[in-house]
Structure 1
Amino acid sequence: MPVAVKEKLLDLLDKNHQSYCDLVTFFLDSNISTPDKERKASIFLKREIHTLNSSYSNFPSNLGEIHQWIVNNNKIQCHEYQLYKERRNSGAEREYFKNVGQAFEFLIEVAPIKRVDGSWLYSIVHYWNDPVFRDLIQIYVEELGLGLAKSNHVCLFDDLLFNLGLEHFILELEDEYYHQPAIQLALAYAPPEFIPEIIGFNLGYEQLPLHLLITNYELKELGINSQYFNLHITIDNIDNGHANLSIKALEKIYSKFKDKDSFMDKLKAGFALNNKGLASLQIIKNLNLEALVLKILKRKALVGNVIHSDKCKLNNRSINEWLSEPNLVEEFVEVLIEKQWIKMDRDPEESRFWQVISHEEGKMYGVFNSTEKQIIYDWIAGEHSKHFDLNTQKITPANKNKNDFMFSYLSDGELEEIQHQISATGNLAMKMNKLLPYLAPHAHHSEIGLWCTQRFVNFLFPFLSDKNSSPH
């Protein structure tokens, strides 16, 4: 890592962060030491907890009430979902995503959170030798897919983004989308004093929210692979899934704390941290496909501002002049609409702009890839898109084995070295301590991280090993 970059990251330890994105980068940097991350995590979490509203949740204050409270919430969400399906079966339109483009926007904007899925439990893995933490550790390794790329939550979501051509859009996201991921990563490196907060946060995150059920339904309806979302519906269930394991872990760890009142206060604070930053439902409510289209056009303007002909002028400006400054792009789009080059809320085939970028004989054919065209198409169509046959507008990515892409022909020998070290020692504690760094949020979804997760599961959870079909 360049010295200047490392100094900037380390500077975040004692100063207010410049952005939440900086914090995410800091916690995911393998060159930053764990003690430094723990120190920053403690500072950041204390500030986040301090700013929580005192009436932040109706979470029960009595341990004995929590299980039933969660069961009741689960029933409410399921009932609301049944009402949703009744509305849809009666002919009502989708309530979250009008079209594929909006679904793409949602996937882009939730990506920072999904790419650190499960990370808040990483610090708990270091207590692997204490049976009281075993339930939480099981949740973590199952979030990691037991070391299989086809089940690892981060691998699944990254694969979805890649298949849809959305991975590059994340680089343009505003900082607010990194607030909640920064909290989750801070919990990943939180010192022992934050154990109650971690448990509380996990308890909240393993609930079954209505928005997850509807998102899964509508993505599938739009022809988008919803496996990642469906997995969270099944694996987090209150009967024998992560929600159930979370409650069992809470009861065991609660019994070990002397100051029960303090424990419950910290537990509630951790639960409330789920509400910090932009939640999925907020993102859905704020979907703005036009803003995403403008980002696409501004990016294209950077390379297209000198190659257009000066013959075509709109409002006394050539295309090159319109594209010469990113700030003019929005006004340029308004002119295109005014001049009927773009006919909003109509079949895009009626728009000259769409013909120019999508037809093989169009002068801008090939400038926009299929994903960008999908977004532009759905933006132009607007309300008219509900009349379209979904099979004619969705992108159908090629299927592939999710384990195949994890193999690298370029190896620095690190995986071979850790494999040798694990096989060379008969001491379980030494094996586990060598594996733990590769279960970290930045590493577990890599080839070496997946292998280390498999070994960790084999050592600590033999009963889960039959689910692990790795050839290693």
Structure 2
Amino acid sequence: MPVAVKERLLDLIDKNHQNYCDIVNYFMNSQITQHAKERKAAIFLRKEIQTLNLDSLEFPLDLNKIPEWLCNDNKVQCSEYQLYKDRRSSGGEREYFKNVSQAFEFLIKVAPVKRVDGAWLYSLVHYWNDPIFHELIQIYVEELGLGLAKSNHVSLFDDLLVKLGLEHFVLELEDEYYHQPAIQLALAYAPPEFIPEIVGFNLGYEQLPLHLLITNYELNELGINSQYFNLHITIDNMDNGHADLSIKALEKIYKKFKDKDSFIEKMKIGFALNNKGLSSRQIIKNLNSEALVVNILKRKALVGNVIHNDKCKFNNRSINEWLSEPNLVEEFVELLIEKQWIILNQDPEQSRFWKLISHEEGKMYGVFNATEKQIIHDWIAGDYFKQSHSKYKKVSSTSSAIDEFMFSYLADGELETLQQQISESGNLAVKINKLLPYLAPHAHHKEAGLWCTQRFVDYLFPFLSEKKSSIH
């Protein structure tokens, strides 16, 4: 390893990270060792736990009451969803996303947490030879799609972002959107002392929330492929899905712990960690289309601040001058609204700015891609299309699954070497321990990770291998 690279890695390991995005990048860095990540995870989790407020958290301290408590919560969520559907069938409007743009914004802002889906269970795969962890490990490999790209949750969500043209927006997110992902990744590398917290976190995360049901409904209605969200509805069920497996795992692991009260208390802490960071409900409540539009225009300003005609001036500034400083863009947008180049809550065709960017004869035609124009269109239209579901410019839904990974001509031979090592070894423990690093959050959705997940499933869960074949 080059000296400069090694020094950078040592700096990352020792650094007292001040923001969550750095912490996420740390855990997703393939060059940092498992041991270093475990040390970082323990330090970070202890700090997070210190700031928890458990007083207002409703959680049964009697193990026998937990299944009934969770079942009752599930019934409440389903009842609330039925009331939602009743409101919609009676003519009520969408309650989460009034247009495609708002749905886009939601998908952008939940991307950091969706890209680590299931990560909190990764540390448990290292206990593969202990049957009491098998239910939780099963949940993890099912989150990984049993090694199939078209079923791997991270692959599914990344594929959705790419097809909608949203992946670049994620790079501009504020640090607060990385708080919950940082927690999930810390649990992914947590040392054994945090097993009760992982069990508790998983118990909370695998329940069926109302927001997931409504999100799935409204995305589908807007023409956006909701397969990722629908998949979570079907597999997180209380009968035989992940919620059921979570309870079975809890009961088995609980029996092994000598200090029962301590286990329950630590599990409650893990359950409470679900509430750290921005929730989906909070994100939906705070959707801000104008801020998204301003960010788009700021990005365009970086390359467009010298190419406009200086004859057109607003408040004695040319367009080039307005775009020369990103901090002026928001004021410039307000000025365009004031001068009625943009007329909000009306048909966008009434706005001069929209014609400039959307009509072939417009001087800015081609500057904005289809996704950016959709966002700008919906922001301008606002409540204009409020009573009509048919006039939204819908995003084409695709029913095609992610293409199976093909041979990469740029591959470094790592997978071939690994395949040879696995085939040559007759020791199951050796085989599995070679696979485990590729099941990590940063690797499982890539070519080698998918292959390793399939082999891991073949070795540990043969009955799931049969399920995988039926998916094919």
**1:49 maps onto 2:77 in alignment:** no
Alignment match, 1:95: 95
Which residue in the other structure is 1:151 paired with? 151
Q: Report the 3-state secondary structure (helix = DSSP H, G, I; strand = E; otherwise coil) of the residue aligned with 2:60.
A: coil
**Conserved 8 A contact 1:164-1:397:** no
1:397–1:2 CA distance, 2 compared to 1 (3 A): farther
Tell whether 2:278 aligns with 1:278: yes
- Structure 1: stretches of 5+ with no match in the other structure: none
Tell me, yes or no, if the aligned pair for 2:13 and 2:36 is still in contact at 8 Å: yes
Structure-1-length-normalised TM-score: 0.97
In 1, the alpha carbon distance for the partners of 2:395 and 2:314 equals: 33
**Partner Cα separation in structure 1 for residue 390 and residue 409 of structure 2:** 39
Do residues 380 (structure 1) and 380 (structure 2) align? Answer: yes
Aligned residue in 1 for 2:138: 138
- Kindly indicate whether the alpha-carbon contact (under 8 Å) linking 1:148 and 1:403 is maintained by their aligned counterparts in 2: no
Letter in 2 for 1:210: L
The separation in 2 between residues aligned to 1:471 and 1:255, in whole angstroms, is 35
> Is this contact kept in 2: 1:163–1:397, CA < 8 A?
no
Residues 406, 446 of structure 1: 8 Å contact kept: no
Q: Does 1:436 align with 2:436?
A: yes
1:4 is displaced (CA, Å) by 5.5
What is the distance in 1 between the residues matched to 2:320 and 2:4?
A: 38
CA-to-aligned-CA distance 1:308-356 (integer Å, 9 cap, x gap): 0111111111110110000110010011001100000000011000000
TM-score w.r.t. length of structure 2:
0.97
How far apart, CA to CA, are the structure 1 residues paired with 2:120 and 2:314?
A: 53
Is this contact kept in 2: 1:150–1:403, CA < 8 A? yes
Report the Cα distance in structure 2 between the residues aligned to 1:237 and 1:314, rounded to whole angstroms.
57
Counterpart-to-counterpart distance in 1, 2:439 and 2:138 = 13
Rate the CA distance shift 1:54–1:349 in 2: closer, same or farther, 3 A.
same
Deviations 1:14-63 (A, max 9, x none): 55312100000000000000000000000000010111013151111010
Distance 1:211 1:262, change over 3 A: same
Q: How does 1:48-447 map to 2 (within 5 A)?
A: 48-390=48-390, 393-396=393-396, 400-404=400-404, 407-447=407-447
Specify the SS of the correspondent of 1:134: helix
Residue 5 of structure 1 and its aligned partner are, at CA, apart by 6.5
* Alpha carbons 1:118, 1:143 under 8 Å: kept: yes
**Residue identity in the other structure for 2:33:** S
- Give the aligned partner of residue 464 of structure 1: 464
Supply the AA of the counterpart residue of 1:394: K
In 1, Cα distance between equivalents of 2:2 and 2:388: 51
Shift, 1:3, TM fit: 5.7
The root-mean-square deviation of aligned C-alpha atoms, in Å, is 1.7
Number of the residue aligned with 1:24: 24
User: Cα distance 1:347–1:406, how it changes in 2: closer, same or farther (>3 A)?
Assistant: farther
Amino acid at match of 1:131: P
Q: Provide the C-alpha distance between the structure 1 equivalents of 2:358 and 2:141, rounded to a whole number of angstroms.
A: 45
Contact 2:223 2:397 in 1 (8 A): no
Contact 2:225–2:397 (CA under 8 A) maintained in structure 1: no
What stretches of structure 2 of length at least 5 have no aligned partner? Answer: none
CA distance in 2, matches of 1:330, 1:112: 26
* Deviation of the 1:419 alpha carbon: 0.9
Query: Would the alpha carbon gap of residues 49 and 392 (structure 1) be closer, same or farther in structure 2, given more than 3 Å must change?
Result: closer
In the alignment, the residues of structure 2 paired with residue 75 and residue 31 of structure 1 have an alpha-carbon distance, to the nearest angstrom, of 45
Deviation at 1:385, TM superposition (A): 2.8
Aligned partners of 2:80 and 2:210 also within 8 Å: yes
Q: Distance in 1 between matches of 2:2 and 2:167?
A: 25
SS of the aligned residue for 1:383 comes to: coil
Q: What do residues 406-442 of structure 1 show as CA deviations (whole Å, max 9, x unaligned)?
A: 6523221111111111111111000000000000000
From the superposition, tell whether residues 303 and 347 of structure 1 become closer, same or farther in structure 2 (CA, over 3 Å).
same
Distance 2:226 2:269 in 1: 32
Deviation at 1:384, TM superposition (A): 1.1
Q: Structure 2: which amino acid aligns with 1:155?
A: S
- Counterpart-to-counterpart distance in 1, 2:188 and 2:446: 18
